[in-house]
Structure 1
Amino acid sequence: MSEGLRKDYRIGEEIGRGRFGVVYRCYSLDSGEVFAVKSVDKSLLADAVDRECAEREAKITQLAAVGNPHAVQIYAMYEDEEAIHMVIDLCDGGDLFDRIATGGGAEMGEAEAAALVKSLMEAVAVCHRRGVAHRDLKPDNVLFDSEGRLRLADFGSAECFGDGRPMTGVVGTPYYVAPEVVAGGEYGEKVDVWSAGVMLYIMLGGIPPFYGETAAEVFEAVLRGNLRFPTRVFSGVSSSAKDLIRRMLCKDVFRRFSAEQVLTHSWITSSGGTRFVADPT
């Protein structure tokens, strides 16, 4: 571990592990506050591209997090011969995948889903205003802190856009990736809205909107974009919720909602304590 890191923090137990490194619990020697430190092992960065991605993740996380209460904050960075270390918020309240899995695939209540989507889209809207697209929104990257607050995490696939600069490259996770990403070529920040729409569909229905046995089959289904609401799982879901999903999972990027538009949709704005009336269709 970096000498500078150990000078400022006491390193605790391992709490997570990823492709390039390990996450530990850590404690500020100055304040006693608890954080997490993500240590990226340089030996696992196979080439200059991997190293550039690791360094870019730290910079983009900083850009996206400042003044963004629903994004994981980065507090300090250290580097030594072995690793790059990022001190970030400790999110020990699990992730959205856990919450969905806890229900055994059963649908989530609309009020809870609306509150989660609102917090997520608030985080994404701040990112987009700052010219950052996450590009890998999925339940595993939506974390919760000890007080249950949603925190958007893992900007490893994020990219900056703006000034007419489109993004390229097939990144993301099959079930959640937008059709314009799968198709190749250039795309914009609304890919994040599509991914969030997939998450909303799963929260309310317990199943993905576009399914396949293999990644290739999933991509084919995404490209077709044939959005349906099977009665057996969506019979109790309101027409307003379905309307928002349609606007988020719209293949026509120009007609697809932006993050800001999602936040102004009636299903989101009326979610506080409102009882949703199920759509009979």
Structure 2
Amino acid sequence: MSSAVQQSYRICEQIGKGRFGVVYKCYSSETGEEFAVKSINKILISDDSIDRQCLYNEAKIMQLVSPHPHIVRIAHVYEDDVYLDIVLELCCSSDLFQRLESRGVFTESDALAVMVPLMEAIAHCHKLSIAHRDIKPDNILFNDRNVLKLADFGSAHCFHNGELMNGVVGTPFYVAPEVLAGKKYDEKVDIWSAGVILYVMLAGVPPFYGESTAEIFDAVIRGNLRFPSRIFQAVSPAAKGLIRGMICKDVSRRFSAQQVLRHPWITNNDETKKVAVLA
């Protein structure tokens, strides 16, 4: 860890670990405010690797999208010859993946409470010409007040003037079919991924499944979206209609982030329900 970050923050216990870095809880020496610091050892990453590009990309893009109430706030970036240290808002509650594991299936009200802030964060990114490209439950965090925060912009990409993107990024169950097909694609890959999250919350299972990564990818590329009656019998037609508009293979017909936020399943629900999902 760089000496600069240690001078500005009191470093405490480790709260996470990745391939190249460790995440610690820390406190501002000046204000006492809690943060997380992701400390990356640059020596472990080759100069020409995609990992190095993603690490620098994350800090740059998070500065572009901040501040937003539903995106993890970046507080400071420190760098020396060995370390890249990114100080972030602390989100110490369970993430959406953990909540899905413990709860199985969400009510529509609780799913709504996730989708509204998530789609507001995605819409904000898209308005700034930034695609996240790895929307998944693990990257949906909650702070100590249970407010949803979109995190991990390492795969994000800036697009301008209708520019299309390429490159296979994302996570098997949640990645859009056009990414896997090797086609150029736009920011609507995030809408597909968010639609899969909505499906998983309401069904307890992903819409496209396989016993291996290759089988999952094949199922995603086929994109045969189904709503088994034994699973979806209690799910409203409006919710299923929204999912169809998000998990749509035809990108020209797939909803935009703003169309999702204007969908009746969201707009016709009680405003008081649009709060962070219960722990």
TM-score grouping bracket, smaller chain normalisation: over 0.9
Amino acid at match of 2:4: G
Cα drift, residue 41 of structure 1: 1.4
Deviation larger for 50-59 or 132-141: 50-59
Amino acid at match of 1:18: G
Please name the residue that 1:242 is paired with: 240
Cα drift, residue 257 of structure 1: 0.3
Q: In the aligned structure 1, how far is the partner of 2:57 from the partner of 2:223?
A: 32
Q: 1:109 aligns with which of 107, 110, 116?
A: 107
Amino acid at match of 2:47: D
Q: In the aligned structure 2, how far is the partner of 1:261 from the partner of 1:120?
A: 14
Q: In the aligned structure 2, how far is the partner of 1:86 from the partner of 1:274?
A: 35
Cα drift, residue 51 of structure 1: 2.1
Structure 1 consecutive aligned stretches of length 4 or more whose deviation exceeds 4 Å: none
Please name the residue that 1:152 is paired with: 150
Please name the residue that 1:61 is paired with: 62
Cα drift, residue 81 of structure 1: 2.3
Please name the residue that 2:53 is paired with: 52
Please name the residue that 2:9 is paired with: 9
Amino acid at match of 1:65: S
Amino acid at match of 1:52: Q
* 8 A Cα contact 1:61 1:73, kept in partner: yes
Please name the residue that 1:40 is paired with: 40
SS in 1 for 2:173: helix
Please name the residue that 2:266 is paired with: 268
Deviation larger for 158-167 or 199-208: 158-167
Amino acid at match of 2:10: R
* 8 A Cα contact 1:25 1:35, kept in partner: yes
* 8 A Cα contact 1:179 1:223, kept in partner: yes
Cα drift, residue 214 of structure 1: 0.8
Matched, 1:90 2:90: yes
Please name the residue that 1:209 is paired with: 207
Deviation larger for 164-173 or 47-56: 47-56
Please name the residue that 2:169 is paired with: 171
Amino acid at match of 2:82: E
Gaps of 5+ in 2: 274-279
Please name the residue that 2:277 is paired with: none
Q: In the aligned structure 2, how far is the partner of 1:270 from the partner of 1:119?
A: 16
Q: TM-score, normalised by structure 1?
A: 0.94
Q: In the aligned structure 2, how far is the partner of 1:273 from the partner of 1:77?
A: 37
Cα drift, residue 53 of structure 1: 2.0
SS in 2 for 1:26: strand
Please name the residue that 2:195 is paired with: 197
1:175-207 Cα distance to aligned partner (Å, 9 max, x none) = 000010011020000000000000000000000
Q: TM-score, normalised by structure 2?
A: 0.95
Q: In the aligned structure 2, how far is the partner of 1:54 from the partner of 1:100?
A: 28
Amino acid at match of 2:252: F
Gaps of 5+ in 1: 276-281
Q: In the aligned structure 1, how far is the partner of 2:35 from the partner of 2:149?
A: 14
Q: How many residues align?
A: 272
State the Cα RMSD in Å.
1.3
Cα drift, residue 18 of structure 1: 1.4
Deviation larger for 16-25 or 126-135: 16-25
Q: Report % sequence identity.
A: 58
